[in-house]
A and B are shown apart, each in its own frame.
Chain A
Amino acid sequence: MQKKVFQLLVNNTSGVLSRISGLFARRGYNVESITAGVTSDSRITRITIVASGDDEILEQIEKQVAKLEDVRNIKELKPEKSVYRELIMVKVRATAEQRQGVISVADIFRAKIIDIAPESLMIELTGNQQKIDAFIGLLEGYEILELARTGIAGLGRGTEPVVRFD
């Protein structure tokens, strides 16, 4: 079992996300995360999918997704040639005495405090998954009230892999 990150460039049409998630459901593929957003070209949506399976399954995923009419391009974002980022927002219970401790952990990770309430703090952090997992691990000494993760988005490094459409 291994994990791969796929970048899809798809037509920005209603229902495209449901076609892709439907394919994963009907063929029983495992998805860890899926993120989508329109690109600088408003006709195109970029979708980043993290999928897991053995080699044959991952190869099938790539082929089956490529076959969908609305998918213009799919490629694997290899870790050594790509940058992945995920954003999290986390709300931690922190009394006035605990607050400084949380803030110093956040500072070390270059996370931002985005909301303060008498009993809690909200923190935003962007980073790769290892960094985020490490940060969440350190917060476990505090009570995490709510956590929102976006799932990862990624881009290939350099100009070489850029896909353009007329």
Chain B
Amino acid sequence: MIGADAIVKCLEEEGVTTVFGYPGVAICPFYNSILESDIRTILIRTEQNAAHAANGVSRITGKPGVCAVTSGPGATNVITGIATAFADSIPLICITGQVNSELLGSDVFQEADITGAVESFVKYSYLVKNVNDIPRVFKEAFHIANTGRRGPVLIDVPIDIQNATISKFKYPETVSLRTYKPTVKGNAVQIKKVVKELEKAKRPIICAGGGVLLSGAEEELRLFAEAHNIPVVSTMMGIGVMPTDHPLYFRMVGNNGKAYANRAMNESDLLIMVGARVADRAVNQPDMITRNKVLVHIDVDPAEIGKNAGPTIPLVGDAKHIFEDLKNEEFSCNCGEWIETLKGYRRTMAAKRNPNPAYVDPAAFIMRLTEKMQEDAVYVADVGQNQIWSCGYVKVRNGKFFTTGGMGTMGYSIPAAMGVKVAEPDRQVVAVCGDGSFQMSMMELATMCQHHIPVKIVVLKNNYLGMVRQYQHFTYQDQYSVVDLSGSPDLEKLSAAYGIPFLRLESMEKCDETIEAFLEKDESMLLECVIDPMDLV
């Protein structure tokens, strides 16, 4: 058995079913060994998307997605995908081929110091220098990626190590990492303090971030909120924590969130932040969330607590454990009046749009689309105006909503949606992007065709980089610079070139039947929605 066989064996031991990647000489031993395995390999069309696709797998399964690319440019291309996963705390295993270990540091063909280059975007990285380390390294890597605050781990394997004979393969059952022991269980004393505050509170609110989804604590959180009648708002990464129409859910906070959600958070007297970083997009002025209120901050990463806003009660631990513990606490919380106030805010403060009837209204379209999607469908939003409309108008029921809130990487939605569909083929998966973000990933249409990954794609087309155009509209009084997307391909012809069915919606007139036709079959389809180029989120 050689190192490359051992790597494949490790992936099998971890239950990996799919590897996304792009081969090159330095990773060829691995891609040769994987032929003997049942693990599915998918040739992505650019390495960044291999990481995004693995990201999609990870989000839907809760287990690290895996990608494998070659050395040098293969490795450097994957960095944006790794950084995206890191910003959103998504567990990922990224295997990179590397030049012969004897030649490391000598700038030979396709050598890149990838462990050095990704240093600030990975939870951890390995450069394997001894073939016998492979089982331990992989065991540790999966453990590190998917425990505590999750994140990407990169394993760089020189080609001679992949080809070296391994003396004995034994996959370790446990890991022993002296310096890595994340706290998952909340401190009992702190939990009691939270309960005491909840008893006193008249206007409590929970703000749920992506950490709740990563911990798989949606149900625990919802049951807790229902049991005590506590309203819930979410960050962008927290969308889907509760069904959008749940009476206790008041949607997304932040710069691009709902005014009534922000008001609810600001007027609360007890704010429970859970699995959220309190970063600038969600909380524009951190002092607002500490003013006149008790702030409880729950996070599995102790470094997040107090980083952007000082908490009154810090509570380190995994959201699922903490809500399970809170469930066992008996207390009464009387906030019926508060809920009524918030419902009033929702009625009176909902943003009014004046859509141009000559075009598709993205807000109404997204509402109709998500109403017609299957109950447990997955909606993957890209980045740009389309993302903000998606966040604002999506209706999540028992499905999922995925997007990259941390890094905001354009082109995320199509490869991530492919990852979701590969991992759970029975789910309906829809990627919604703009014409800018679509063109950052449109090469993956070939991957979808080659590997039969029936993802549905909506392109909200306005011929602009809309989010930047909007910024230039407000900041530079309509002096547009480098945001015009003229020259974009005819999407109908492009779809035909790939053999993908195509639909176009030009106004709201035929909205329902077009959406129905779009969603009808479990096959790839591209739906172009022509939207007003001057529309604002």
> Does B104 sit within 8 A of A, measured CB to CB?
yes
- Least CB distance from B161 to A in Å reads 14
A22 to B117, CA, bound (A): 10
CB nearest to A18 among chain B residues: B119
Smallest Cβ-Cβ distance to A57: which chain B residue: B105
A28 in contact with B116 (CB, 8 Å) = no
- CB distance B116 to A25 under 8 Å? yes
B506 within 8 A of A: no
For window 419-445 of chain B, which residues contact chain A by CB distance below 8 Å?
none
Q: How far is the CB of B79 from chain A (nearest CB, A)?
A: 15
Interface check A63, CB cutoff 8 A: no
Tell whether A164 is near chain B: CB-to-CB under 8 Å: no
**Interface digits, B90-109 against A, CB 8 Å rule (1 contact, 0 not)?**
00000000000000111000
Docked complex Cα distance between A28 and B116 (Å): 12
Give CA–CA (A25, B106) in the complex, Å. Answer: 13
Kindly state the separation between the CA atoms of A26 and B106 in the bound complex, as whole angstroms. 10
For the complex, is B113 an interface residue (Cβ under 8 Å from A)?
yes
Q: Determine whether the beta carbon of B116 is less than 8 Å from that of A22.
A: yes
Residue interface mask A31-54, B partner, CB < 8 A = 1: 000000000000000000000000
Which of B105, B106, B116 gathers the greatest number of chain A CB atoms within 10 Å? B105
What is the chain A residue whose CB lies nearest that of B119?
A22
Q: Is A27 an interface residue (CB 8 A)?
A: yes
* Binary flags per residue of A4-25, CB closer than 8 Å to B gives 1, else 0: 0000000000000000001001
- CB-CB under 8 A from A26, the residues of chain B are 105, 113, 116
Q: How far is the CA of A141 from the CA of B104 in the complex (A)?
A: 43
Q: Chain B interface: which size bin?
A: under 10
Q: How far is the CA of A28 from the CA of B113 in the complex (A)?
A: 10
Per-residue contact bits, chain B 222-266, to A (CB 8 Å; 1 contact, 0 not): 000000000000000000000000000000000000000000000
Report the separation of the CA atoms of residues A142 and B105 in the bound assembly, to the nearest whole angstrom.
43
* Residues of chain A contacted by B105 (CB below 8 angstroms): 26-29
Q: Which residue of A lies closest to B105 (CB)?
A: A27
Chain B: minimal CB distance from A62 (Å): 15
List of B residues within 8 angstroms of A28 by Cβ: 104-105
Residues on the B chain within 8 Å of A29, using CB:
105
A residues within 8 A CB of B106? 27
Q: How near does chain B come to A68, taking the closest CB pair, in angstroms?
A: 14
- Closest chain A residue to B111 by CB distance? A26
Q: Which residues of the partner chain A approach B116 to less than 8 Å between Cβ atoms?
A: 22, 25-26
The smallest beta-carbon distance between B177 and chain A, in angstroms, is 21
Whole-angstrom distance from the CB of B104 to the nearest CB of chain A?
5
B104: A residues at CB distance < 8 A:
27-28
CB neighbours (8 Å) of A22 from chain B are 116
> A160 CA to B370 CA in the complex, in Å?
79
Q: How far is the CA of A113 from the CA of B105 in the complex (A)?
A: 45
Which chain B residues border A27 with CB–CB below 8 Å?
A: 104-106
Within the assembled complex, what's the spacing in Å between the Cα atoms of A28 and B103?
10
* A-contact bits for B482-514, CB 8 A (1 contact / 0 none): 000000000000000000000000000000000
Roughly how many angstroms separate A43 CA and B273 CA in the complex, as a whole number? 44
Question: Which residues from A are CB-within-8-Å of B113?
Answer: 25-26
Assembly CA distance A26 to B116 (angstroms):
7
* Whole-angstrom distance between the Cβ of B100 and the nearest chain A Cβ: 12
Residues B428-467 near A (CB distance < 8 A) = none
CA distance A27 to B105 in the complex (A): 4
With A and B bound together, what is the CA distance between A13 and B104 in angstroms?
A: 29
A131 and B413 CA atoms in complex are apart in Å by 64
**Chain B proximity mask over A92-135: 1 for CB below 8 Å, otherwise 0:** 00000000000000000000000000000000000000000000
Bound: A103/B130 CA distance, A: 47
Complex Cα spacing A94 to B34, Å = 61
Q: Determine the distance from Cα of A83 to Cα of B105 in the docked complex, in whole angstroms.
A: 32
Q: How far is the CB of A17 from chain B (nearest CB, A)?
A: 14
What's the Cα separation between A8 and B105 when bound, in Å?
Answer: 21
Interchain CA distance A27-B104 in the complex, whole Å: 6
Looking across the interface, which residue of chain A has its beta carbon closest to that of B103? Answer: A28
In the docked arrangement, what's the CA distance between A101 and B116, Å? Answer: 49
Inter-chain CA distance A26–B107, complex, in Å, is 10
In the bound assembly, the distance between CA atoms of A22 and B116 in angstroms comes to: 7
CB B39 to nearest CB in A, in angstroms, measures 31
Complex Cα distance, B115 from A26, in Å, reads 8
Q: How far is the CA of A132 from the CA of B104 in the complex (A)?
A: 35
A14 CB to nearest chain B CB (Å): 15
Give bound CA distance, A22 to B120, whole Å. Answer: 13
B390-429: CB near A (< 8 Å → 1, else 0) gives 0000000000000000000000000000000000000000
Interface residues of B (CB under 8 A from A): 104-106, 113, 116
4 extra interchain contacts, Cβ-Cβ under 8 A, other than A22-B116, A25-B116, A29-B105?
A26-B116, A27-B104, A27-B105, A28-B105
3 tightest Cβ-Cβ pairs between the two chains A and B: A27-B105, A26-B113, A28-B105
Residue pairs across A and B with Cβ atoms less than 8 A apart, 12 shown, are A22-B116, A25-B113, A25-B116, A26-B105, A26-B113, A26-B116, A27-B104, A27-B105, A27-B106, A28-B104, A28-B105, A29-B105
